[in-house]
Structure 1
Amino acid sequence: NKKTAGLQGSDLVIVAARPSMGKTTFAMNLCENAAMQQEKPVLIFSLEMPAEQLMMRMLASLSRVDQTKIRTGQLDD
Protein backbone atom coordinates (compact mmCIF):
# COMPACT_ATOMS: atom_id res chain seq x y z
CA ASN A 1 0.00 0.00 0.00
CA LYS A 2 2.87 2.41 0.69
CA LYS A 3 4.26 2.11 -2.83
CA THR A 4 0.95 2.06 -4.70
CA ALA A 5 -1.19 4.25 -2.41
CA GLY A 6 -3.46 1.21 -2.10
CA LEU A 7 -6.07 -0.07 -4.49
CA GLN A 8 -8.69 2.42 -5.59
CA GLY A 9 -12.35 1.60 -6.18
CA SER A 10 -12.14 1.90 -9.94
CA ASP A 11 -8.85 -0.01 -10.35
CA LEU A 12 -8.55 -2.97 -12.67
CA VAL A 13 -5.44 -4.90 -11.65
CA ILE A 14 -3.89 -7.29 -14.15
CA VAL A 15 -1.01 -9.49 -13.01
CA ALA A 16 1.18 -10.79 -15.84
CA ALA A 17 4.46 -12.70 -15.85
CA ARG A 18 6.13 -15.82 -17.20
CA PRO A 19 4.81 -19.24 -16.09
CA SER A 20 5.51 -20.36 -12.51
CA MET A 21 6.57 -16.93 -11.28
CA GLY A 22 3.94 -16.68 -8.52
CA LYS A 23 1.27 -14.62 -10.30
CA THR A 24 -1.64 -16.50 -8.75
CA THR A 25 -0.14 -16.43 -5.26
CA PHE A 26 0.53 -12.69 -5.54
CA ALA A 27 -2.97 -11.96 -6.85
CA MET A 28 -4.59 -14.15 -4.21
CA ASN A 29 -2.65 -12.31 -1.49
CA LEU A 30 -3.89 -8.96 -2.85
CA CYS A 31 -7.47 -10.23 -2.87
CA GLU A 32 -7.19 -11.79 0.57
CA ASN A 33 -5.92 -8.51 2.01
CA ALA A 34 -8.65 -6.47 0.33
CA ALA A 35 -11.40 -8.86 1.45
CA MET A 36 -10.25 -9.63 4.98
CA GLN A 37 -8.38 -6.53 6.15
CA GLN A 38 -10.30 -3.85 4.29
CA GLU A 39 -13.65 -5.69 4.01
CA LYS A 40 -13.90 -4.96 0.28
CA PRO A 41 -15.56 -7.23 -2.29
CA VAL A 42 -13.15 -8.84 -4.74
CA LEU A 43 -13.44 -10.84 -7.95
CA ILE A 44 -10.83 -13.35 -9.07
CA PHE A 45 -10.80 -14.45 -12.69
CA SER A 46 -8.29 -16.94 -14.08
CA LEU A 47 -7.96 -18.51 -17.49
CA GLU A 48 -5.37 -20.95 -16.15
CA MET A 49 -7.00 -22.34 -13.00
CA PRO A 50 -10.51 -23.66 -12.28
CA ALA A 51 -12.63 -22.03 -9.59
CA GLU A 52 -12.34 -25.07 -7.30
CA GLN A 53 -8.54 -24.84 -7.29
CA LEU A 54 -8.63 -21.10 -6.60
CA MET A 55 -11.06 -21.72 -3.75
CA MET A 56 -8.79 -24.44 -2.32
CA ARG A 57 -5.81 -22.08 -2.38
CA MET A 58 -7.77 -19.34 -0.61
CA LEU A 59 -9.12 -21.79 1.98
CA ALA A 60 -5.61 -23.08 2.68
CA SER A 61 -4.24 -19.56 2.99
CA LEU A 62 -6.99 -18.33 5.31
CA SER A 63 -6.83 -21.43 7.51
CA ARG A 64 -3.00 -21.55 7.46
CA VAL A 65 -3.17 -25.25 6.51
CA ASP A 66 -1.09 -26.85 3.74
CA GLN A 67 -3.37 -27.25 0.74
CA THR A 68 -1.99 -30.74 0.09
CA LYS A 69 -3.32 -31.82 3.49
CA ILE A 70 -6.73 -30.35 2.69
CA ARG A 71 -6.81 -32.01 -0.74
CA THR A 72 -5.78 -35.43 0.61
CA GLY A 73 -7.91 -35.24 3.77
CA GLN A 74 -4.91 -35.57 6.10
CA LEU A 75 -6.08 -32.99 8.62
CA ASP A 76 -5.35 -33.10 12.34
CA ASP A 77 -7.08 -31.24 15.18
Structure 2
Amino acid sequence: MSIPRIQQGELAYWLGVLAAPNEAGGSVPDHIVEALRVLRCVEDAEDGSLRVTDKGLLALRMADPAAIHH
Protein backbone atom coordinates (compact mmCIF):
# COMPACT_ATOMS: atom_id res chain seq x y z
CA MET A 1 0.00 0.00 0.00
CA SER A 2 1.48 3.34 -1.02
CA ILE A 3 1.12 6.46 1.07
CA PRO A 4 -0.33 9.37 -0.91
CA ARG A 5 1.87 12.44 -1.02
CA ILE A 6 0.54 15.54 0.66
CA GLN A 7 1.34 18.83 -1.05
CA GLN A 8 2.46 21.94 0.82
CA GLY A 9 -0.56 23.79 2.15
CA GLU A 10 -2.95 20.89 1.53
CA LEU A 11 -3.48 20.07 5.21
CA ALA A 12 -4.19 23.72 6.02
CA TYR A 13 -6.65 23.93 3.13
CA TRP A 14 -8.63 20.88 4.23
CA LEU A 15 -8.48 21.92 7.88
CA GLY A 16 -10.03 25.21 6.80
CA VAL A 17 -12.76 23.31 4.95
CA LEU A 18 -13.55 21.32 8.10
CA ALA A 19 -13.52 24.44 10.28
CA ALA A 20 -15.84 26.42 7.99
CA PRO A 21 -19.45 26.56 9.16
CA ASN A 22 -21.93 24.41 7.23
CA GLU A 23 -19.20 22.35 5.55
CA ALA A 24 -19.56 18.59 5.32
CA GLY A 25 -16.50 16.58 6.28
CA GLY A 26 -17.39 13.72 3.94
CA SER A 27 -15.65 15.34 0.98
CA VAL A 28 -12.22 15.41 2.65
CA PRO A 29 -9.91 12.66 1.30
CA ASP A 30 -9.30 9.80 3.74
CA HIS A 31 -5.51 10.23 3.78
CA ILE A 32 -5.94 13.90 4.73
CA VAL A 33 -8.35 13.03 7.54
CA GLU A 34 -5.91 10.45 8.89
CA ALA A 35 -3.01 12.93 8.75
CA LEU A 36 -5.07 15.55 10.59
CA ARG A 37 -6.01 12.96 13.23
CA VAL A 38 -2.35 12.00 13.73
CA LEU A 39 -1.48 15.68 14.16
CA ARG A 40 -4.42 15.98 16.59
CA CYS A 41 -5.93 18.84 14.60
CA VAL A 42 -9.26 17.00 14.33
CA GLU A 43 -11.07 14.40 16.37
CA ASP A 44 -14.21 12.35 15.95
CA ALA A 45 -17.32 13.99 17.39
CA GLU A 46 -20.10 12.02 19.07
CA ASP A 47 -22.31 12.31 15.98
CA GLY A 48 -19.62 10.74 13.76
CA SER A 49 -18.46 13.98 12.17
CA LEU A 50 -15.02 15.52 12.52
CA ARG A 51 -14.43 18.29 15.04
CA VAL A 52 -11.53 20.72 14.74
CA THR A 53 -9.58 20.77 18.00
CA ASP A 54 -8.05 23.79 19.70
CA LYS A 55 -4.72 22.76 18.19
CA GLY A 56 -6.33 22.75 14.75
CA LEU A 57 -7.77 26.22 15.29
CA LEU A 58 -4.35 27.45 16.38
CA ALA A 59 -2.80 25.94 13.26
CA LEU A 60 -5.33 27.81 11.12
CA ARG A 61 -4.53 31.10 12.87
CA MET A 62 -0.79 30.51 12.38
CA ALA A 63 -1.30 29.74 8.67
CA ASP A 64 -3.22 33.00 8.13
CA PRO A 65 -1.14 35.48 6.11
CA ALA A 66 -2.17 38.21 8.54
CA ALA A 67 -0.64 36.36 11.50
CA ILE A 68 1.73 38.55 13.49
CA HIS A 69 4.70 36.19 13.07
CA HIS A 70 4.79 36.59 9.25
Normalised to the residue count of structure 1, the TM-score between the two structures is: 0.34
Higher strand share: 2
- Higher Rg of the two aligned structures: 1
Q: Specify which structure has the bigger relative contact order, considering alpha-carbon pairs within 8 angstroms and separated by 6 or more residues.
A: 2
Normalised to the residue count of structure 2, the TM-score between the two structures is: 0.37
